[in-house]
Structure 1
Amino acid sequence: MRTEIIHEKQDLTYLSWSLIRSSSGTAGSFLKATSHLGDRKIYYKLSNYDSVNGIVGHECVNEIIADRLLTVLGIEHLHYQLIHADIQVNEQIIETYLCASEDFKQRGEDKVALDVYYELEHKPGETPLAFCIRNGWADHIYKMLVADFLLLNRDRHGANMEVLRNSRRKTIRLAPIFDHGLSLLFNCHDEASVSAFDVMQDRPIQCFVGSRSAQDNLGLIPANAMPRINRLNAQDRAIIMEGLDSILPQLWLDKIWEMIEGRWRYYEDFCNQRRA
């Protein structure tokens, strides 16, 4: 399922969508569905859906941009596929782009939200970040904090991080980083809001293991433990934006790259200051 974008319209009207309220206060709802292809479970999700106006967001495009960015940086993450399709919601046929991803659980594993696991297993007075470090997940968490800063992910709540356990093998690990829809310009729906958007503004976020500031969360990474990630280069724009010009207006794509590039420069300066 690794073709990143399927532009040819598919008939996915057979999918049954369940309604998930946005956890970050966004107007509208997020719809999810599942299907099975052989022994593979496929998860589908839509961008922000409004029962009056239909699909009003572009969160699914954000997922493919984040997927490509994290691939360039060499950060482990869940891969997404962007699919042009007809779907059916409330007896209405809607043409849209949606996201698909495969189940990241391995055979024999079960999953639990990190916030639930933390409540069950943390020591008295132990913060979520300290809990993750004690469990050996520091590098994973630090890479996630960097990714969420670059993307300005506003929705890294405790269920957007999952613990995978295999009781027979007695193994436990964090799931690959997933769910980046509420990032970048997710709440910009017209040209005026895109043009006015300050790509470097430190907007309030949710982060279960950190604070409400993506910028301040970089400071949670010890100077001697900065994660090893690949460098972002100007030519990576072509890789990250390939095939999206027919899906999202150029103004949006230009602003998104301005955001990623500007926040990367800030991160590089931050790392250089830590080394000084």
Structure 2
Amino acid sequence: MRRYDIVATLQDYRDVTWSERANSSGTAGTYLKARVGKGTRARYLKLSRYDGVRIDGTECINEIIASRLMDVLGIEHLTYRLIHARVVVDGVEHETWLNSSRNFRAAGEQKMGLGHYFELYRNPGEEPLAFCVRQGWGERIAQMMLVDYLIANRDRHASNIEVLIDRTGAARLAPLFDNGLSLLAPYGENWERIVAFEPLQQVATTNFVGSRSLEENLRAQAPVDVARPLAKDDRETLFAGLDQAVPTVLLDKMWDIIWNRWCWYASL
């Protein structure tokens, strides 16, 4: 199956300056970001985990899997492209895979992290989930909780959900983005931990909306409105072409996680 969200031919990104460093809570390492171009033609780039010596994470692979999963389920999300590239970080050249995405804001819109927007407009004593429901975002939040459960997302903090505000002050939730710290990303190349990971096991998460339990968040929202159920045949759609970037055994384990979690959700 040919996919247009993968550029497998090695590209030269050695002139890109990776000046935006974001330390993520809950995992070691640094996530490097960059922007090339301006205005509506700007592209946003990010790398998988960089430990100061190597780029050794699978976060960029996970973004593509999550993006394809949301295509299947009909959930609004930021579209990523996976690019095989040469990059230079701290003066050292690396051959790796990076993510590229475009600006999801419409003309005239400003963005704000949900945490900040919540603090500005919440009612006294109001919790984030109730606030989102009051804003008319309940269905979108439920879809987010479904995706986060299916991919075992560890990182849905208050800035990983954004609000887009137009010139009139009207606000909408941004498409889902930043889904990389999920699946088996925290384990790097620790194959013993990867093999031992049980698809339904609970993971340590950071959730701004709801609780720290992905299972309980989803149980409270089920059933979630999606375009269609996930099917076994969707494995090919989710993983087409990714065996060029990571071992097939890792893709098999990722599918086990997603499929078993979908079956658990369907049983609700």
Whether these two folds match at TM > 0.5 is yes
Equivalent pair of 1:194/1:251 in contact (CA under 8 Å): no
The 10-residue stretch of structure 1 (12-21 or 96-105) with the greater mean CA deviation from structure 2:
12-21
Q: CA deviation at 1:19?
A: 4.5
Q: For residues 78-129 of structure 1, give each alpha carbon's deviation from its aligned partner in whole angstroms, at most 9, with x where no partner exists.
A: 1100000011111111110000110100100000000001011101000011
Paired with 2:251 and 2:191, the residues of 1 have a C-alpha distance of 12
Q: Which residue of 1 aligns with 2:50?
A: 49
What is the correspondence of 1:112-123 to structure 2 with a 5 Å cutoff?
112-123=112-123
Tell me, in whole angstroms, the C-alpha distance in 1 between the residues paired with 2:264 and 2:23.
29
Alpha-carbon distance between aligned partners in 1 of 2:197 and 2:88, rounded to the nearest angstrom: 33
Aligned-residue identity in percent = 46
Shift of 1:37: 6.5
- Cα shift at 1:38: 7.2
Relative distance call for 1:80 and 1:94 in structure 2 (3 A) is same
Residue 4 of structure 1 is matched in structure 2 by 5
Q: How many pairs are equivalent?
A: 265
- Provide the residue aligned with 2:129 in structure 1: 129
The residue identity in structure 2 corresponding to 1:140 is R
Q: Which residue of 2 aligns with 1:161?
A: 161
TM-score, structure 2 as length reference: 0.95
The residue number in structure 1 matching 2:31 is 30
Give the superposed CA RMSD. Answer: 1.5
Q: Paired residue for 1:174?
A: 173
Task: Identify the residue that residue 228 of structure 2 maps to in structure 1.
Answer: 230
Aligned pairs (5 A) from 1:1-276: 3-36=4-37, 39-52=40-53, 54-168=54-168, 170-188=169-187, 189-221=189-221, 226-270=224-268
**Take 1:155 and 1:133, find their aligned partners in 2: how far apart are those partners?**
21
* Cα shift at 1:227: 2.1
Q: Distance in 2 between matches of 1:122 and 1:163?
A: 14
User: What SS does the corresponding residue of 1:126 show, helix, strand or coil?
Assistant: coil
- Looking at structure 2, the residues matched to 205 and 269 of structure 1 have their Cα atoms a distance apart, in angstroms, of 23
Q: Distance in 1 between matches of 2:237 and 2:38?
A: 29
Q: Aligned-pair distance for 1:51?
A: 1.1
Structure 2 distance, partners of 1:49, 1:130, is: 37
4+ aligned runs moved over 6 Å, structure 1: none
Relative CO higher for 1 or 2, CA cutoff 8 Å, sep ≥ 6? 2
Counterpart CA distance in 1 for 2:147 and 2:40 is 31
> How does the TM-score come out when normalised to structure 1?
0.92
Tell me which amino acid in the other structure corresponds to 2:25: S
> For residues 187 and 83 of structure 1, do their structure 2 counterparts lie closer, same or farther at Cα, with a shift above 3 Å needed?
same
Of the structure 1 ranges 65-74 and 36-45, higher mean CA displacement relative to structure 2 is found in 36-45
Alignment gaps of 5+ in structure 1: 271-276
CA distance in 2, matches of 1:201, 1:29: 26
Superposed displacement of residue 25, structure 1: 2.3
SS of structure 2 residue aligned to 1:112: strand
- The offset of 1:187, in angstroms, is 1.7
Matched-pair contact (CA < 8 Å) for 1:14–1:88: yes
Q: Which runs of 5 or more residues in structure 2 are unaligned? A: none
Distance 1:11 1:20 in 2: 21
